[in-house]
A and B are shown apart, each in its own frame.
Chain A
Amino acid sequence: MNTATMNVSSLLIASVLVIISMGFSYFQKLKLEKETLIGVIRAIVQLTAVGYVLNFIFGLENPLFTTMLVLFMLYNAAYNASKRGKNIRNGLLISFVSIGGGTAVTLSILVIAGAIKYEPYQIVPISGMIISNAMVAIGLCYKQLISDFKNKRDEVETKLSLGADILPSSIELIRDSIKTGMLPTIDSMKTLGIVSLPGTMTGLILAGTPPLEAIKFQIMVTFMLLSTTSIAAFSACYLAYKGFFNERKQLR
């Protein structure tokens, strides 16, 4: 396989693309020039720093460091997802367990199946992909759950008043929230190759991998995103709904 390289002067010429965007902003008086410049500088600094960190960790080839980096990513994802669900009780813990569970199951299956190795250069980028996908999914789940428990209070109270436990009283809301979390992943899966040329495949092809080989990786990525999203969404909703009730099975 050819390793893709890019020299710095090519990258500098490519930065003209940023100037085009800022030019539009200036002539259209969008006042986005400062924001764009800050965004571009941050992207360069952050990506360069991550590049050095990854270079260091890939060089160590130590499973402990790899696991610690995955845990760090997990914590950050859980923190971000819990901010989406401010009314979710124990949101940080639930998010960590849900994203962590989904990631652990998916990575285990992939490693056992021999699709990937527990090597940092494979585990770190794959974890990044599935963790961020699960984070977005459970953020959507929380948003839907909070909105449903606000807007469908009558439905839940009616079912409680008939003597139903809290799970049968909330099951429709839970299902609705899991669906909301999973739909973007399912929708993007349906349009793979038609609307979007996915990142993994594009990256591999750019790096010189034959398209048919790149597709195999993309199919694996699609499966793992689906699995992690469904596990994370399912766990998060089933753990979070209980927080909307007190110990006397009354809505808070």
Chain B
Amino acid sequence: MNILKFKNISYRDGDNIILDNISFEVNAGDFISIVGPSGSGKSTLLKLCSHLKSPTLGTILFNGEDISKSSPSSLRKDIAYCFQTPYLFGDTVSDNLSFPYSIRDRKVDMERINYLLSIFNIDKDFFNKTIINLSGGEKQRVALIRTLLFEPKIILLDEVTSALDVDNTLTVENVIRDLNNTGLTILWVTHNPEQSKKHANKILTLENGKISSLEVIK
């Protein structure tokens, strides 16, 4: 059953056509790699999924419901988005990891935080670290943990390993694969051809704002 459906989606930025009449479906549990040259509309596609932008034309359905008619905040809690350049706010890691709890009026669950820190190979004492002292790779992992605290239904990853070294890339890939095995739907934008085929069951290729292929590989 499809969890996400793009129906004739176009997106324009002024006179520029970023996405042109795109239609495809994402099934629950899919791991889709989205590939294509720079400027082909990959990041815009993810922003449309998380409703940070609205399409100029067409409809996006999440669980059969038109996302333009649902609550943007609750939709974004279900469809988590991890940006290419992670933005950590406040002063410390704790400011970032407690934010998802504060917007839900929930108490911070240290057990859950420590579990996620451990699967991303990060020490527990990281929670109180100041973000200014973190490396690019550490920032990206903190940003990933921040999006995973409340078990979203879909996770959108925009080149999240581009700033990571080989070991950390492997750690992130394995965590994402494991999450996919538990049923989480993944849409992963990547420039790395090897990575795109590693765990994905489908590869969506974009070119000049159009789908040039949607390949089922597993």
A interface residues, Cβ below 8 angstroms from B: 154-155, 157-165, 168, 172, 248-251
Contacts and interface: CB of A to CB of B under 8 A. Distances in A.
Contacts of B83: 154, 157-158, 161
A163 B73 contact: yes
A162 B87 CA distance: 12
Contacts of A155: 87, 89
A162 B52 contact: no
B100 A250 contact: no
A155 B95 CA distance: 13
Interface of B: 50-54, 68, 72-74, 76-77, 80-81, 83, 85, 87, 89, 99-100, 102-104, 143, 146-147
B76 A250 contact: no
Contact of A250 (B54, B77, B102, B103): B54
A161 B43 CA distance: 14
A154 B88 CA distance: 9
Nearest to B104: A163
Nearest to B81: A161
Given A155-B87, A155-B89, A161 B73 contact: no
A162 B77 CA distance: 6
Contacts of B51: 248, 250
A-B pairs with the 4 shortest C-beta distances?
A: A163-B77, A249-B72, A161-B81, A154-B87
A157 B46 CA distance: 13
B144 to A, nearest CB: 12
A162 B50 CA distance: 10
B76 A162 contact: yes
B89 A160 contact: no
Given A162-B146, A250-B53, 18 more contacts: A157-B52, A157-B83, A158-B83, A159-B89, A159-B99, A160-B52, A160-B72, A160-B76, A161-B50, A161-B76, A162-B103, A163-B74, A163-B76, A163-B100, A164-B103, A168-B102, A248-B72, A249-B72
Most chain B CB atoms below 10 A, which of A158, A162, A168: A162
23 contacts: A155-B87, A157-B83, A158-B83, A158-B89, A160-B76, A161-B80, A161-B81, A161-B147, A162-B76, A162-B77, A162-B103, A162-B146, A162-B147, A163-B74, A163-B76, A163-B100, A164-B73, A164-B99, A165-B73, A165-B103, A168-B103, A172-B89, A250-B52
